Structure 1
Amino acid sequence: MPEKINKKNQVEFWQKTPIHITLVIIAFIWTLPTMGLFISSLRQREAMLSSGWWSVFLHPFELTQYHLGNYLEVIQSQGMGQAFLNSLTISIPATIIPIAIATFAAYGFAWMEFPGRQFLFLIVVCLLVVPLQTTLIPILRAYRDLGLANTFLGVWLAHTGYGLPLGIYLLRNYIGALPRDLIEAAKVDGASHLKIFTRLIVPLSMPAIASFAVFQFLWVWNDLLIALVYLGGTKNVAPVTIQLSNMVGSRGQDWYLLTAGAFISMTVPLMVFFALQRYFVRGMLAGSVKS
């Protein structure tokens, strides 16, 4: 019997070997640009002008010549520290606000009966295909009239409006798939919609909420277009993306510093992703298998 089990395990191992090799190759190709960015961020300007980053594999002993000078220069450059604070100031509220609104709206579309519910949800779905570029000029004109141009509040409202359709759509599908018996039992016990939402819906929907939080935070943190349009490149409110783009325009001779700046800007999104990875994976798999 043990011999049969061992043979079966060996057969399964060799059958899955091509799949494992394929996954390793895909993972390597996927991480190759990040590895090249990291190696380039440690190289000196002369080395980057003379050879590509892949030359480190041909001359591995040159690693001793690599240093953190590029990182120190980027961090100490004028306005970069303030830019990181501005990015956090923009990204955190621009993630929390749409999550709160989208969760409430998703619960209403999923479990509350009111006239025009399906029509309103159809409008939300249609908003997913509207290019945000078509809204930049009208909203910017409105911001100038209301005094919201070049302010954090204007960027928060813009990111909230752009992120709500996707958030409502994702959360509504997840919340609508929760067991109906559980919701009806809570109603029979006299629970109000607010109590059902806070005690049942939110805890059970944490995987989907975390998944949307990761998407929204990454989008806001890496955004350049919206920040450039609504903030106008103002230094006291400029995020990291604008600061890096200014480094290209005004300091073209120091373009090699962009690799260090770009790698530094990746640290915060990576921290957020790994912190919410467990919920993110559960949220992505939710609904893929019917119980």
Structure 2
Amino acid sequence: MIGRSPRWAVYIMAVVGFIWIIPIIGIVVMSIRPMSETMLGWWRLDEVSFTLSAWKRVWGEYELGNAFWSTARLAGISTVLTMLMTPAAAYAFHFLKFRFRRLLLIIIINAFVLPQQVVIIPLFRLWRDLGMIDNIAAVVIPYVGMSFAWSIFLVKNFLEDFPKELIEASRIDGCGPISTFRHVVLPNALSPIFAVGILQFLWTWNALLLPMLYLRNDLPLPVVLASVSGSYDPNWDLKAVAAIITTSVPLVIFMIFQRQFAAGSQVNSGGKE
């Protein structure tokens, strides 16, 4: 029988949780109060009034509709491609035998230590020579390629505990590598695949550097809303609105798929009951 948590632990977690949400409360308050009331601190209650002028200004001055669609397209394509290619690559590295398998895996895993800033200039020159500047592929390809390091590592760790008896049974039944992957491994590896998809979506939705460098039109939300800052006016109310708009969709996606995300750490085998 699992014992109850001590009361002091609950109090500590409550305090930590409250401290964690204080900045979120501040952002929401700044987005619905005039700048004249929050200049010296959003927590001040000398004068309290509410307005949606910041929201109206952001929606009126910035093309958020096109930016939202561009962000959804970039994040969606990158996430789907990663979820399709990662389990196949992890399966090949774990179960199949081919030349230079270990060397290729080491090269891919070592991409963990490669900063994103190192590749932006060589990529820019490559895309410029190929005429791919302001092409969605110039952003999607690095999104998918840079995610292979951690995504293959995550799914391959899951396959470490995958019952090899199922693989051997499928081979006895006449299944080839592709059939074994489709009918045995893939249906039982949905938890790590969903985890990879959520992490990839969160990263690509909030990414700023690559779209800012390689795209000229159809800019995503992070790039458009980064221009909210004025040259002389801090525009804290507009920044608060931009932060809420940018983070709302990833928050909803995580809340919807959090069960699949958490299940990745609870599955110990690939067998079905």
Settle same-fold status: TM greater than 0.5: yes
Instruction: Provide the C-alpha distance between the structure 2 equivalents of 1:134 and 1:266, rounded to a whole number of angstroms.
Output: 27
After TM superposition, give the deviation of residue 204 of structure 1 in Å: 1.3
Task: For 2:203 and 2:81, locate their aligned partners in 1 and report how far apart those are by CA, in whole Å.
Answer: 14
Distance 1:76 1:174 in 2: 47
Q: Which residue in the other structure is 1:3 paired with?
A: none
* Identity over aligned pairs, percent: 29
- The residue aligned with 2:129 is 145
Equivalent residue for 2:114? 130
The 1:118/1:260 distance shift into structure 2, 3 A limit, reads same
If each structure's helix is expressed as a fraction of its own residues, which one has the higher value?
1
TM-score with structure 1 setting the length: 0.85
User: Which residue in the other structure is 2:43 paired with?
Assistant: 54
Please list, as runs of the form range in 1=range in 2, the aligned pairs for 1:251-262 lying within 5 A after superposition: 252=233, 254-262=235-243
Aligned to 2:264: 283
CA distance in structure 1 between the aligned counterparts of 2:53 and 2:88, rounded to whole angstroms:
48
Once the two structures are superposed, the pairs formed by residues 205-224 of structure 1 within 5 Å of their partners are 205-224=189-208
Query: Are the aligned partners of 2:192 and 2:264 in contact in 1 as well (CA < 8 Å)?
Result: yes
How many Å apart are 1:156 and its aligned residue?
Answer: 0.5
Contact 1:125-1:165 at 8 Å conserved across structures: yes
Deviations 1:249-280 (A, max 9, x none): 46845342110111011111011101110011
Q: Is the 8 A contact 2:86 2:148 kept in 1?
A: yes
In structure 2, distance between residues paired with 1:186 and 1:138: 45
Asked whether the equivalents of residues 79 and 201 of structure 2 are also in contact (C-alpha less than 8 Å), the reply is: yes
Q: Write the mapping of 1:1-291 to structure 2, written as runs, cut at 5 A.
A: 13=4, 16-49=6-39, 51-55=40-44, 62=48, 65-231=49-215, 234=216, 236-249=217-230, 252=233, 254-286=235-267
CA distance in 2, matches of 1:248, 1:119: 46
Q: Work out whether residues 62 and 224 of structure 2, in 8 Å CA contact, stay in contact via their aligned partners in 1.
A: no
Runs (4 or more) in structure 1 with deviation over 3 Å come to 249-255, 284-287
Partner of 2:271: none
Contact 1:151 1:237 in 2 (8 A): no
Change in 2 beyond 3 A, CA 1:86/1:250 = farther
Q: Please tell me whether Structure 1 or Structure 2 has the larger radius of gyration of its CA atoms.
A: 1
Structure 1 regions of 5+ residues with no counterpart? 1-7
* RMSD, matched Cα: 2.2
Residue 285 of structure 1 deviates from its aligned partner by 4.3
| Deviations 1:103-137 (CA, angstroms, capped at 9, x unpaired) | 11001011111122222111111111111211111
Scaled by the length of structure 2, the TM-score of the pair is 0.90
Count of residues paired in the alignment: 268
Q: Which residue of 2 aligns with 1:5?
A: none
Specify the code of the residue in structure 1 equivalent to 2:135.
T
